[in-house]
Amino acid sequence: MTYAEQGCALMEIDFLYTSDGEIVASHYFEYFDGYDLKNRPTIEVFKNTKLDGKYTGMTFKWLVQQLKNYENIRIIFDSKENDTFKLLEDMVTIASGNGLDLSSRMIIQVYSIENYNEIKNNPNFNFETFWFTNYKANYSNIQIEDYFNDKKDVETIVMSCQCWWVYHQTGYEFDKKIAVHTVNGDFAINFLADRGVDLIYVDFM
């Protein structure tokens, strides 16, 4: 947990199932030769494959233990799974079985009004914080404002650089924090930060 030791308090992680149903951190198994979302590795292949020749992949069970050790960290949830609802249910079960309450430790990115309501209204979930990420629904600024501005548990609106630029140029303002994804390089990061962006997704510290 190098980033945690450097003081990073927010980490966005994508989660997927392996072919045998274990939950791991990956976008779409892009670092595994011959594997993808349609041909997934087993958990053993995942554990025994060195990413970029030197890194060990992260399982969710391992992450749960790290969250218990680093109490200041919150994980921003993302996934390319079609059924993120089931994925979250399984993650809550695993975490609680290992003595960790995810409700305040995981920020749930939601991708539509329906997705937010589905998770919010599930009696098995008690997540405290949501971020609305607009890369799937592609709502207009007016639609986002009309639905999410009065939702106190929706803390942040996440958008691409292109969508943010339209938002910025039109002078639109949400009553929320604004996060932009994914930006690497000091010039671009400083450009956004100087223009009022609250949070910036980066691949590397």
Q: Please report the pLDDT score of residue 144 as a whole number.
A: 96
Which residue stretches of 70-185 are H helix?
A: 84-97, 113-120, 141-148, 161-169
List the chain residues with pLDDT less than 50: none
> What CATH number did the domain enclosing 90 receive?
3.20.20.190
Of the three residues 85, 103, 128, the one that is the final residue of a domain is 128
Strands 106-110 and 55-56: unpaired
Q: How many domains does the chain have?
A: 2
- Residue 28 sits in the same domain as residue 115: yes
Indicate whether 155 and 93 sit together in one domain.
Answer: no
Instruction: State the pLDDT at residue 8.
Output: 75
Could you tell me if 110 and 33 lie in one domain? yes
- 93, 112, 128: which is the final residue of a domain? 128
Instruction: Judge if 161 and 183 occupy the same domain.
Output: yes
Position 172 scores a pLDDT of: 93
Of residues 173, 129, 165, the one with CA closest to residue 149: 173
Domain edge (last residue) among 128, 156, 179: 128
Statement to judge: residues 106 and 8 lie in one domain: yes
Residues 66 and 114 in one domain: yes
Q: What is the predicted pLDDT for the residue at 115?
A: 94
Range of the domain at 143: 134-205
